[in-house]
Structures are given as structure tokens and as C-alpha cells.
């Protein structure tokens, strides 16, 4: 029985208010007291996230729905907020990860190095508030305002370290990309609201025959934010440039607002043509495979993680595509499994990618570098960070018993169910299955590399050798996230059941004749529990067997060579080389090699970089041409204010005349 | 009957896939020869009214030319040009194979949608034929050596031949013979050209032919 | 679920070490040698489980956990694994995905343990292992997808409950594809040479160079179990339909596994290893065979 959501909405509004006020207060306080500013910022973020999380969880479990409308004097605009299962579900990872990342940030920036902490907290809290507003908005104008506030707040966070040239460059790329995306969204909202003349979501109507074109426009706009290939170019620039807790929030939650947009669009528009479903499926598969392939070729830990966001958004989109196919072909089981898998992966990706970005931040904090080739042996020096990172790595590879497996399992089963049909639909299922398996294999390779080279073996640089475990305020959020990853993995059945109303909003009522107790098999949980129990039992047996026997320590066995050095170890480049070489045509890496020559080679070097293929082959040429084309209008730019005012006057007069004449 | 046709078609598909992954020219020539030989059986099986002289003639002629004459010509060209046996493709073998599977899936999909005047002898006939055509074109596009490109033409013809089996009830013979003749001439001429180019330039990489274009480097 | 179902995991644990013995006997037969005893692996395990241990100073708990996690994954996989016509103790729609991913977790644990030593040899083995897994996993899932379509079932036990009702060419294609995967995943001949003594050419053996004593015992037992698990996926494709007597079905399944081991020994005796660069092609080929099998079942 759906409950009334006004109390939840009230709590959420309160959280938004706290975020705004604490952000502004922190910024004001930052001028005279660093300490007060930080305390204000973190206290506001913490309180708001706790309240918001409570409201969202309660709203989802009670299936609360409701809307409120506050007066707002903007043409077509209304401050109308609504909560339903879909919004409540997206709010859970949002407040959870934002809160934990805020705790991480409070320790991460110490010392602040003369940077005003108020600037960080203002934009951080503003980002969290605007993301929540995007998810709650039920009016097109309000949505766009929140969307824009979110983009701007995150832009200022990306460029927080504005003394670094690469951060400014990354911020610029991000700003351009996100506004191109927003332009598409404005078009979508105008078209949707044209018929009724109202920008309320509830009044939206799809002009006859244009559902497909509208969906495509929306996919372009929201896909840019979500980071779908080939609209992902800003992601590998902005994520590494931003401070780690911000990267965690941006990658874990903010890009999911793009997914939320697509999902909300589906819910608002109702039926979309079948080719849209196929398109979404194909984009998901391509993003997934290419994202992880690009990740494999990276040496910068955070850049690697950023490409994994492209991969995971691809997996989510693959699930949504399957769900849309299920709706289109009238197979409720496929629809339910696809949407449930996609939505669950939204939550899961927020958890493990947040964890991994925080882990990368901890590594950078302890060693001062994100270059994988200069790290190594950190598991001994940072045991907690290492263990949490390993949990995140296993989870992101989709391996049991962690949470990544649960969502990929649902998508897999959805794809296998389409295989029971014949013809084209089954082919779609085969593509999804093979793409998921390929993504899984490549992700395992990539994280074997990331974990193995960064945390295992011997340190490859003095900085890595001198690393120490990060302070408790940094470790605690990571451990919480790791524990949540395992808990959702083992208790996926309950989580999926809680998700049912959100899935039903997209897939219709969930009817599964062969799985009456929900779409997630209970026996799966049993096997996973068995796996954990077996591992513990084996550990105990091993302990008993070794008790009382000699256990000695020695050097690693290297064919009798007893003086190994750190530089003899495999490098990240070398580890991934067989795969990156195989995908040469796709990755197009730049390689500079000075190979050893002669009988007694003196020095040799090998360097490879994998620049973004979409950027190098699509956007850079496009923007170069654009710059040339727009060069024609350069005479308009006189650099004098009078001229600009004159332009405004002329345009105003022409518009006025046109309006009055016609 | 349709069981045997099915096995032939599966062989055809497998041969295409092996060809996509084959790096030795001599092997590639052998595979194409086998493909031609086995395809020669098709007209005999696809005919419903038992054996027809035209069908036997077509089968035998096609098998003879594609199974013996072409391979002999190409092997001679290989010998004379002393071409390196490895093919250095524009698209790697693994990627070619994966592309092959994708194209095969597409062919099955196309095949399921293509309206046909008669139900074909096997459901696999149209997809297999299409896939063979695409494979031939793929080889021509992505391989460097002129010999492999010639092989691509032969595979392309094999595909057209297979598709022709759909219409074997009508009068495909003339069209088929015409195509066969075209390909024969093409292979003959290319064999000679390959030989001559090699004598002049010491290699038969077709991408180096681009250097002959006007204004080229 | 019946007695035979619950008996199978126990039987697998006990009998799996026999498979490498059979392979080695067949190889000895081909080579004109007497060869090691059939029960050699049992003797080895007995010896290893009574030994102490030597650990590298570079390693951490990940190194010690690797073989245990791998072994636990394979035992958990046994719970999902039907043998011949004998259903698995646990089955549900999509259990095949869990099986494939349990194998994946086992592999990840082994690779992580190998990288923990910081040895370049083990790094090399790990790099190759993950590279080949990238091609092997889609191939395995494509094969299972073809079976799911042919039998209209989503669980392993459902697929193998009867002799899969697919045409002979389809079964042959799937069998060939799965056999290549069986050889590759178990590091047998055309992909990896279990007998080589040159670390540079190894894949699996080189990853476990540093393990000794109890840990190595679990590694060896785990490899034998992996032979059993992947062999059972193949054995289910082979003929007799259900006999009606669960225990007889179980015996038939175990018999097929021994025959498979013998076939592996024969392949190893007559084939040379392919170049490492060729292995991805071989694995993609296996996937292509499986995918082709699926496409052929579309009607």
C-alpha cells in the first residue's frame, strides 16, 4: 500500500536547506577561521546526508509517493518536488556516498595549503543539494536549473586545484561537454511541454510520431552526463583532475543523474519505438567493452578508474536496453530482470567506484603520486586501504560474493531469457551475454593489474616505500563502503525485493511464473554463503595443518636468482601489453621505444600512451573545423563595450519589431 | 538431402572463419580450393527433381575451376613472386574472427527477414551465402597482399554461387556462368598483373600501389 | 534431488585427482614409457599436506589466501554442477552464470596470489592467464547460451537432464568448442605445456612457482577439480539418455570423465603447443564454434 510521502519530502527539503545554509556559512567562515569553516561544512553535509538517507530509505521501503509545490515566480517554472520509488532509489546512493566522501574529505585536505576550505565546502554541499534536487524535481524548468547548478558546482570542484594547468584544462573540457548536453535537454523539455503549455512532468505529452526522435535527443543530453561512449570524453579528464572525494561523488553519483534522466524519460514518455531499445542495448555494449579496454591501457590510477565508469555506465545501459526490449516485445520477465539489474548496478557502482576512488585518493595522499608504475608493495604499508581496495576491485569485476556480481547476474539472466526466444531478440541476448563476459574478463585483467602493481610486490619508488597508512577519517569511509559491497552481495535477494516498486514503475507489475518468490534466486545466496564458509573452513584447516611445522621466510624464488630488485618486477604496461597490443587498432596508442641494441646494451626505454580515441578522432578535428568556421565572425569581437551594447540594442529592436508586426 | 546440405553449409561457414584467421597464404589458398570443391556438390543436392544435366555440369565446372585451376594459378603466382607467407593485415586475425562472428549474426538476421520467392533448400542457405559474400569483401578490404585480395574475389564468388542455389529452380545458370567467367578473367588477369608488378617492384603489397597514384609521395 | 545428486560432490572431491593420473598414463603409453602410478597425485597430496612452508618476504595474506579461495570456488561450483544426467544438488535459473563467475573468482585469486610475489616470472604467467581468460569467458558463456537455447532451459541441471535435443552438427560444434575450452582452461597441451621446465613458456605452472606445502597441495587438488568441473560440462553433451537409475547415470558420467582424461592424454601426446600469439585465436575459434552452434539452432 503506497504511503503518503509528505513527511519524507519535508525531511528532504530540510536536508536541502541545511546543505545550502552550511555551505554558505562555511564559505563565509573560511575567510577568518579554517577550522570553523571545515566544521561547518562537514557538519552540514553529514546531517543533511543522514536525514536525506533516512528519508530515501523510508520512502523506498514504504513505497511512499507524493508531490509538493511551492510558489516560484519563474515563467513556466514551478518549485514542484515529488517523491516516488524511482526518486527514492536514486537518492539512497546519492546521500550515502556523498556523506561518506564528505568524511573522507575532512581528513583528505589536511593541510589545506592556504586554500580556502570554505570554497570547497560551499561547492561540495551545493553539488549534493543540486543532485538531490535533480532527482526530486517534477518541473522541467526546475530540473534544468538544478541540472545547471549541479554542473557548475562540480565544475568549480574539478578546478578546485586551480593552480594546476591540467585541472583548468579538464574543467574547461567538462564545462563545454556538459553544456552541449544541456542544450539537447532544453530542446527535449520544450518539445515535451509544447502541447500542454506547461512544464510540469505530469502535463508532458509526446507529440505524435516523434517519440523516437525525442528519446534520441534525450539520450544525447543525458548520455553526455552519464559518460556513454562516444560522449564520454570529459570523464577521463575531469575525474583525475578533481580531488579524490569529489571524483568519488562525481563518478559514483553525479554521472548517475544521467541514468536517472534516461529512466525518468522512459517513465514520463511511456512507450518508445523498438529501435530505441536496440540502440540503448548497442550503446551499452559498446560503452562497456570500449570503456574497460581504454582503462586497461592507462597508467594513471584515477584515469583508469574514470574509464571504468564508462564501462559500468555501459553495463547499466545494457541492463536498461534489455529491459526496454522486454517491454517492447512483451516479455515481462526480461523487462523486470533488465531494469532491476540496471538499477541495482547504479547502487552497486556508486558503492564500489566510490570506494575505489577514495582508495586511489588514499594512495595519492600517502605517496604523492597516482602513477601506477611508481607504486608497489602498498598492501604491507597500508593494510586497511589495501584490503578495502581489493574488496572494491573484486566487486567491480563482477565477481561473487560481492555486490557487482548481483547486478550483473540479473542482467545476465535477463539476456539468457531472451535466448529462449527465436530470431532477432535472441541475437540481442547473445550480444548482451558475450559483451558482459568480455567486459568481465577485461575488467578482471584490468584490476588484477591495478591491485597487483599498486599494492603487491615491492615498491617501485622511494615514495611508495615510505608510505604509511592514512588517518582513520580516511580509512573509515572506505571500510564502510567495502562492508556494504559484501553485504549487498550476500543479501542481494532482500535488496532486489526492496527495489521491486522502482522496477515496476518501468517494467510494469512483475509477474514471473517460474520464480514466484521474486526475481533473485534464494539458492544463489546459499551457494555464496557456502563459498564464504568454505573459505573460512579451509583457512582453519590450513592453520591446523601448519601448526607445529616449520614456517620460514625467504626471498621470492626467481629461478635461483637470489637478489631480485624492484625494477625486475612486471610493470603495469607489461602486464596489460598482450591485450592492449591485440586491440592496437582500437586503442591507437603512441609508443616511443628505444630498444636495447648491440651485445652489451647500455640503456633502453619504452613509453606508451593511449590518448582518448574519440577525442583524437572525433572531437579534436570537429572543434578545429568549428574554430576555423567561426573565425569568420571574429570581426564582431571588437573588445569594446560600446559595440556589445550596440549589438544588444539592435537585436532587441529587431525582435520587438518582429513581435509587433507579426 | 537437407541434412547433407546443412553440413556443407556449416563447412562453408567454418572455412570462412578459418580463412579470416589464416596467416599463411598457402593454407588460405588450400581452404578456398576446398570451399570451391565442396560447393560443387551443392547444385546436385539443391535440385528437387533429381539430377539434371545442367546442374551436374555447373557443379563439375565450378568445382574444377575453383578447386583446381585457381589454386594452381595462385600457387604459381606465390612461387614466382616468393611472397612472404605471412599476411600482414590491416585488421588483426583475432579482430577479424570476432568481426566474422558479428557479420555471421547479422547475416542470420538479414536472412530471417529477406523475402524469398521459394522456401530455400535449407534455412541456413541464405545466411551462409551472405556470410560468404561478406567474408570475401572483408578479405579484399582488410588484407594487404594482392593474392589474398584475389582469394577474396573467389570467396565472394562462392557466396554468390551459394545464394544462387536459392534460385536454382528458376534459370540462374546463365547468370551464374557469367559471374564465373568474370571471376575467371579477373583471377587470370590479376595473376599476371601480380606477377608483373612483383617483377618491377619486388613486392606485392597492394597498399604500396597507392604510391603510383598521381601526386603521391 | 536424490542420493546420486548429493553423492556427486563427494565423489568429485575424491576422484578428481585420478584424472591427471589417467592423462599421464596415456601419455606414457604413447611415449612407450611405464609412467608414474595412476594414483601419483594422491601420494603427492598426502606428502604435501604433511609439510611445513616457506614464504617469500614480499608476500602478504593475499598470497596465502589465493589457493584456498580458488579451491573453495571449485568446491562451491561442484554444488551447481550436474554430471551426465545426474542433477546438481543446487539448481536455479541462471546457475550457469554463477558457475562461470566462480571459476572467474578462482582465477582472480590465483592471479592476485601470483602478483603478490613480485616475481617477474609469476607476473608473466598472471598476465597471460588474464589475457586468455578474456577470450575464454565469452566463449564459455556463448557455449552455455547455445545450450540454453537448444534445451530451452536456464539451469545447468535442466540443460543436461536429458540428452540435449539438438541436431548432430550443433552438438558436434558445441562439443568441439567446449573441448578446446576444456584444454585451454586446464592448461593442457595446445595452449600450455604442463611438462615444460622452462618458466618463460609456462602459463599456469609459473603462477604457482612460489607455493609450497599445504598451499601447493590445494593448488594441485584444485587443478584436478577444475578438470572435473569443465569435463562435466562436456560430458553432459555425450549420449546415453537418462537410464532411470541415478547411480548408473552417475557411473556413466564418471566413466565419460575418465574417457575425456584419456582423450586429453592422447591429444597431448600427438600435438605440439601452439605459439602463444596463436592462443587467443584458438580461444576465439572455440567461441565461434559455440556461437555458430547457437545460430544453427535458430529456426
Q: What is the pLDDT of residue A166?
A: 87
User: What DSSP line would sit under B86-134, residue for residue?
Assistant: B---SS-HHHHHHHHHHHHHHHHHHHHH---SS--S-TTHHHHHHHHHH
pLDDT value of residue A514: 58
Q: Is A428 on the interface with C (CB under 8 A)?
A: no
The confidence score (pLDDT) of residue A95 equals 95
Contact of A424 with B109, CB cutoff 8 Å: yes
Cα A329 to Cα A195: distance, rounded to the nearest angstrom: 29
User: Mind telling me how many Å the CA of A260 is from chain C's nearest CA?
Assistant: 28
Residue in chain C nearest B14 by alpha carbon = C289
Query: Is there a domain that residue B217 lies in?
Result: no
Percent of chain B with pLDDT over 70: 65
The subunits that touch chain B, with at least 3 C-beta pairs less than 8 Å apart, are A, C
φ, ψ of residue A411 in degrees (nearest 5): -65, -40
Cβ pairs bridging A and B (under 8 Å): 18
Q: Count of domains in chain B? A: 1
Residue A110 pLDDT > 80: no
Residue in chain A nearest C139 by alpha carbon = A434
Say whether B95 and A585 touch across the interface (CB within 8 A).
Answer: yes
pLDDT of residue B216 exceeding 50: no
**Phi, psi of B47, rounded to the nearest 5 degrees:** -75, 135
CB B184 within 8 A of CB B65: yes
Query: Is residue B64 in a domain?
Result: yes
DSSP C92-140: -TTHHHHHHHHHHHHHHHHHHHHHTT--HHHHHHHHHHHHHHHHHHHHH
In chain A, the residue whose alpha carbon lies closest to the alpha carbon of C104 is A399
| Residue B30: closest CA among B68, B77, B86 | B68
Stated as kind and residue range, the H or E segment containing A592 is strand A590-594
Mean pLDDT over residues C75-98, rounded? 91
| Alpha-carbon distance values, B131 to B8, B116, B172, B179 (Å) | 14, 17, 20, 18
pLDDT tens column, C134-188:
999 999 999 999 899 888 889 999 888 887 766 778 888 899 999 999 999 888 8
H helix runs in A594-640, sequence order: 613-614, 620-630
Give the DSSP letter of residue A616.
I
Is B98 within 8 Å of C284 when comparing Cβ atoms?
A: yes
**What's the alpha-carbon Rg for chain C, to the nearest Å?**
19
Cis peptide before A230 (omega within 30 of 0): yes
User: Minimal Cα distance from B93: which residue of C?
Assistant: C281
**pLDDT for residue B50 is more than 70:** no
Interface of A with B in 425-484 (CB under 8 A): 427, 430-431
Residue A259's pLDDT is 95
Query: Which residues of chain B neighbour A584 with C-beta distances below 8 Å?
Result: 92
- Cα A173 to chain centroid distance, Å, stands at 18
Which of the pair, A307 or A508, is modelled with greater confidence?
A: A307
Query: In the predicted model, what is the mean pLDDT of residues A352-356?
Result: 95
Q: Which of A207, A631, A101, A523 is nearest to C95 (CA)?
A: A523
For residue A113, count CB atoms less than 10 angstroms from its CB and return exposed for 0-12, middle for 13-18, buried for 19 or more: exposed
Cell matching residue B148: 589474398
Determine the average pLDDT of the residues in C17-46. 92
Bin A548: left if φ > 0, else alpha if -120 < ψ < 50, else beta.
Answer: left
In this predicted structure, what is the pLDDT of residue A152? 94
Tell me: pLDDT of A624 over 50: yes
Of C173, C285, C298, the CB nearest to B97: C285
Mean pLDDT throughout B57-86? 75
Q: Give C280→chain B minimum CA distance, Å.
A: 7
Give the Cα separation of B133 and B154 in Å (integer).
10
Per-residue confidence (pLDDT) for residue C294, from 0 to 100: 83
At a CB cut-off of 8 Å and minimum separation 6, what does C131 contact?
Answer: A445, A578, A579, A582, C280
Q: Distance between CA atoms of C6 and C20, rounded to whole angstroms?
A: 24
Q: Name the closest residue on chain A to residue C94, using Cα atoms.
A: A413
Residue B83 falls inside a structural domain: yes
* Least confident window among A267-276, A595-604, B53-62: B53-62
Q: Which band of pLDDT confidence, cut at 50, 70 and 90, is reported for residue A528? A: very high
Closest CA–CA distance from residue B192 to any residue of chain C (Å): 33
CA distance B79 to chain C (A): 26
Whether C299 has a pLDDT exceeding 60, the answer reads no
**More confidently predicted of B195 and B92:** B92
Residues of C in contact with B127 (CB under 8 A): 295
Q: Which residues fall within 8 angstroms of residue B94, CB to CB, at 6 or more apart? A: A582, B21, C135, C280, C281, C284
Whether the per-residue pLDDT at C214 is higher than 80: the answer is yes
| Cβ neighbour number for residue B2 with a 10 Å cutoff | 15
Nearest Cα to Cα of residue B206 among B157, B154, B153, B142: B142
The mean-pLDDT minimum among A147-161, A173-187, C152-166 falls in C152-166
> With contacts defined as CB-CB under 8 Å, which chain A residues touch B108?
427
- Chain A closest CA to B175's CA: distance in Å? 32
Nearest to C145 among A430, A441, A556 (CB): A430
pLDDT at residue A264, rounded to an integer: 92
Say if residue A272's pLDDT is above 90: no
Q: Where are the domains of chain A?
A: 614-661
Whether B33 and B70 have beta carbons less than 8 Å apart is answered as: yes
Closest by CA to B15, choosing from B115, B132, B121, is B132
B contacts of A585 (beta carbons < 8 Å): 90-92, 95
- Per-residue pLDDT band for C1 (boundaries 50, 70, 90) equals low
HEC assignment per residue over A494-533: HHHHHHHHHHHHHHCCCCCCCCCCCCCCHHHHHHHHHHHH
Query: What whole-number distance in Å separates Cα of residue A352 and Cα of residue A392?
Result: 5
Label the pairing between strands A79-83 and A605-609.
Answer: unpaired
Facing A582 at nearest CB: one of B92, B105, B109: B92
Q: pTM for this one? A: 0.90
Interface check for C274 against chain B (CB to CB < 8 A): the answer is: no
Chain C contact set for B98 (CB, 8 A): 284
Q: Which residues contact B209 (CB under 8 A, 6 or more apart)?
A: B197
Amino acid at each position: 500500500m503506497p504511503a503518503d510521502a509528505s513527511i519524507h519530502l519535508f525531511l528532504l527539503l530540510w536536508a536541502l536547506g541545511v546543505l545550502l545554509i552550511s555551505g554558505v556559512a562555511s564559505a563565509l567562515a573560511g575567510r577568518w577561521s579554517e577550522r570553523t569553516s571545515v566544521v561547518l561544512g562537514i557538519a552540514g553535509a553529514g546531517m543533511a546526508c543522514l536525514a536525506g538517507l533516512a528519508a530515501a530509505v523510508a520512502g523506498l521501503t514504504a513505497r511512499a509517493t507524493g508531490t509538493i509545490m511551492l510558489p516560484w515566480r519563474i515563467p513556466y517554472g514551478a518549485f514542484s518536488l515529488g517523491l516516488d520509488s524511482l526518486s527514492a532509489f536514486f537518492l539512497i546512493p546519492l546521500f550515502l556516498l556523498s556523506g561518506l566522501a564528505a568524511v573522507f574529505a575532512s581528513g583528505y585536505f589536511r593541510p589545506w595549503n592556504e586554500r580556502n576550505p570554505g570554497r570547497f565546502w560551499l561547492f561540495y554541499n551545493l553539488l549534493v543539494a543540486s543532485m538531490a534536487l535533480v532527482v526530486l524535481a517534477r518541473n522541467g524548468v526546475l530540473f534544468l536549473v538544478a541540472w545547471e547548478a549541479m554542473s557548475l558546482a562540480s565544475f568549480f570542484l574539478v578546478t578546485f586545484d586551480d593552480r594546476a594547468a591540467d585541472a583548468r584544462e579538464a574543467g574547461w573540457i567538462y564545462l563545454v561537454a556538459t553544456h552541449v548536453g544541456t542544450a539537447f535537454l532544453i530542446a527535449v523539455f520544450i518539445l515535451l511541454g509544447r502541447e500542454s503549455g506547461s512544464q510540469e512532468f505530469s502535463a508532458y505529452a509526446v507529440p505524435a510520431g516523434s517519440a523516437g526522435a525525442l528519446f534520441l535527443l534525450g539520450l544525447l543530453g543525458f548520455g553526455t552526463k552519464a559518460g556513454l561512449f562516444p560522449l564520454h570524453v570529459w570523464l577521463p579528464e575531469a575525474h583525475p583532475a578533481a580531488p579524490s572525494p569529489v571524483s568519488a561523488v562525481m563518478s559514483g553519483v553525479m554521472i548517475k543523474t544521467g541514468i536517472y534522466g534516461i529512466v525518468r524519460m522512459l517513465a514520463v514518455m511511456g512507450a518508445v519505438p523498438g529501435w530505441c531499445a536496440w540502440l540503448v542495448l548497442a550503446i551499452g555494449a559498446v560503452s562497456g567493452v570500449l570503456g574497460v579496454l581504454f582503462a586497461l591501457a592507462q597508467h594513471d590510477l584515477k584515469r583508469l578508474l574514470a574509464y571504468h565508469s564508462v564501462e559500468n555506465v555501459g553495463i547499466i545501459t545494457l541492463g536498461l536496453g534489455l529491459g526496454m526490449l522486454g517491454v517492447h516485445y512483451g516479455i515481462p520477465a526480461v523487462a523486470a530482470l533488465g531494469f532491476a539489474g540496471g538499477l541495482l548496478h547504479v547502487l552497486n557502482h556508486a558503492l564500489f567506484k566510490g570506494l575505489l576512488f577514495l582508495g586511489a585518493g588514499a594512495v595519492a595522499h600517502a605517496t604523492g603520486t597516482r602513477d601506477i608504475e611508481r607504486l608497489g608493495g602498498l598492501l604491507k604499508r597500508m593494510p586497511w586501504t589495501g584490503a578495502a581496495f581489493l574488496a572494491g576491485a573484486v566487486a567491480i569485476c563482477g565477481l561473487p560474493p560481492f555486490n557487482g556480481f548481483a547486478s550483473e547476474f540479473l542482467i545476465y539472466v535477463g539476456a539468457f531469457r531472451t535466448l529462449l526466444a527465436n530470431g532477432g531478440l535472441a541475437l540481442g541476448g547473445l550480444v548482451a551475454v558475450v559483451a558482459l563476459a568480455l567486459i568481465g574478463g577485461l575488467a578482471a585483467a584490468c584490476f588484477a593489474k591495478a591491485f597487483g602493481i599498486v599494492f603487491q610486490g615491492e615498491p617501485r619508488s622511494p615514495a611508495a616505500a615510505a608510505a604509511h597508512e592514512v588517518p582513520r577519517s580516511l580509512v573509515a569511509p572506505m571500510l564502510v563502503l567495502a562492508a556494504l559491497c559484501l553485504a549487498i552481495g550476500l543479501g542481494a535477494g532482500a535488496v532486489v525485493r526492496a527495489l521491486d516498486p522502482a522496477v515496476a514503475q518501468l517494467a510494469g507489475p512483475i509477474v514471473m511464473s517460474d520464480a514466484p518468490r521474486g526475481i533473485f534466486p534464494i539458492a544463489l545466496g546459499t551457494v555464496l554463503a557456502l563459498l564464504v564458509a568454505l573459505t573460512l573452513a579451509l583457512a582453519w584447516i590450513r592453520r591446523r595443518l601448519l601448526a607445529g611445522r616449520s614456517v620460514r621466510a625467504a626471498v621470492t624464488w626467481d629461478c635461483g636468482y637470489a637478489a631480485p630488485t624492484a625494477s625486475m618486477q612486471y610493470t603495469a604496461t607489461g602486464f596489460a601489453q598482450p591485450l592492449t597490443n591485440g586491440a592496437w587498432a582500437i586503442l591507437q596508442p603512441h609508443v616511443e621505444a628505444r630498444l636495447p641494441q648491440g651485445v652489451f646494451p647500455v640503456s633502453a626505454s619504452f613509453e606508451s600512451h593511449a590518448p582518448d580515441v574519440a577525442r583524437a578522432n572525433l572531437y579534436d578535428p570537429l572543434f578545429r573545423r568549428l574554430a576555423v568556421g567561426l573565425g569568420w565572425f571574429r570581426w564582431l569581437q571588437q573588445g569594446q563595450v560600446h559595440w556589445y551594447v550596440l549589438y544588444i540594442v539592435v537585436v532587441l529592436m529587431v525582435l520587438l519589431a518582429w513581435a509587433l508586426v507579426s | 538431402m537437407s541434412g547433407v546440405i546443412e553440413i556443407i553449409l556449416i563447412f562453408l561457414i567454418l572455412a570462412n572463419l578459418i580463412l579470416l584467421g589464416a596467416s599463411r597464404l598457402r593454407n588460405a589458398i588450400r581452404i578456398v580450393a576446398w570451399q570451391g570443391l565442396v560447393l560443387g556438390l551443392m547444385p546436385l543436392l539443391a535440385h528437387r527433381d533429381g539430377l539434371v544435366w545442367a546442374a551436374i555440369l555447373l557443379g563439375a565446372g565450378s568445382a574444377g575451376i575453383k578447386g583446381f585451376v585457381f589454386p594452381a594459378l595462385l600457387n604459381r603466382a606465390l612461387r614466382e613472386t616468393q611472397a612472404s607467407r605471412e599476411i600482414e593485415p590491416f585488421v588483426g586475425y583475432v579482430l577479424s574472427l570476432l568481426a566474422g562472428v558479428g557479420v555471421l549474426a547479422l547475416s542470420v538476421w538479414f536472412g530471417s527477414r529477406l523475402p524469398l520467392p521459394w522456401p530455400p533448400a535449407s534455412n541456413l542457405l541464405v545466411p551462409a551465402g551472405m556470410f560468404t559474400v561478406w567474408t570475401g569483401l572483408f578479405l579484399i578490404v582488410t588484407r594487404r597482399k594482392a593474392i589474398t585480395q584475389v582469394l577474396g574475389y573467389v570467396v565472394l564468388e562462392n557466396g554468390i554461387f551459394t545464394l544462387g542455389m536459392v534460385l536454382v529452380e528458376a534459370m540462374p545458370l546463365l547468370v551464374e556462368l557469367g559471374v564465373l567467367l568474370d571471376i575467371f578473367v579477373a583471377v587470370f588477369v590479376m595473376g599476371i598483373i601480380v606477377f608483373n608488378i612483383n617483377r618491377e617492384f619486388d613486392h606485392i603489397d597492394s597498399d604500396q600501389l597507392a604510391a603510383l597514384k598521381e601526386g603521391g609521395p | 534431488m536424490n542420493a546420486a545428486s548429493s553423492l556427486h560432490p563427494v565423489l568429485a572431491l575424491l576422484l578428481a585427482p585420478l584424472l591427471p593420473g589417467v592423462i599421464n598414463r596415456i601419455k606414457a603409453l604413447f611415449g612407450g614409457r611405464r609412467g608414474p602410478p595412476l594414483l601419483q597425485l594422491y601420494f603427492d597430496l598426502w606428502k604435501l599436506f604433511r609439510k611445513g612452508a616457506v614464504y617469500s618476504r614480499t608476500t602478504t595474506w593475499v598470497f596465502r589466501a589465493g589457493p584456498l579461495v580458488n579451491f573453495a570456488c571449485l568446491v562451491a561450483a561442484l554444488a551447481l554442477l550436474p554430471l551426465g544426467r545426474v542433477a546438481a544438488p543446487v539448481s536455479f535459473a541462471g546457475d550457469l552464470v554463477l558457475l562461470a563467475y566462480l571459476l572467474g573468482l578462482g582465477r582472480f585469486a590465483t592471479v592476485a596470489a601470483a602478483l603478490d610475489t613480485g616475481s617477474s616470472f609469476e607476473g608473466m604467467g598472471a598476465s597471460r592467464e588474464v589475457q586468455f581468460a578474456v577470450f575464454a569467458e565469452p566463449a564459455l558463456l556463448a557455449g552455455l547460451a547455445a545450450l540454453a537455447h537448444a534445451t530451452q532451459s536456464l539451469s545447468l541441471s535442466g540443460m543436461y537432464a536429458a540428452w540435449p535435443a539438438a541436431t548432430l552438427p550443433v552438438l558436434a560444434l558445441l562439443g568441439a568448442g567446449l573441448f578446446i575450452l576444456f584444454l585451454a582452461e586446464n592448461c593442457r597441451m595446445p595452449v600450455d605445456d604442463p611438462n615444460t621446465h622452462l618458466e618463460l613458456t609456462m602459463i599456469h605452472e609459473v603462477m604457482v612457482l612460489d607455493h609450497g606445502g599445504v598451499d601447493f597441495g590445494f593448488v594441485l587438488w584444485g587443478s584436478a577439480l577444475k578438470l572435473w568441473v569443465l569435463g562435466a560440462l562436456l560430458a553432459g553433451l555425450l549420449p546415453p539418455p537418462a537410464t532411470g537409475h541415478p547411480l548408473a547415470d552417475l557411473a556413466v558420467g564418471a566413466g565419460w570423465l575418465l574417457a575425456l582424461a584419456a582423450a586429453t592424454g592422447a591429444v597431448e601426446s600427438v600435438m605440439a603447443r601452439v605459439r602463444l600469439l596463436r592462443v587467443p585465436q584458438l580461444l576465439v575459434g572455440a567461441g565461434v564454434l559455440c556461437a555458430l552452434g547457437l545460430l544453427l539452432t535458430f529456426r
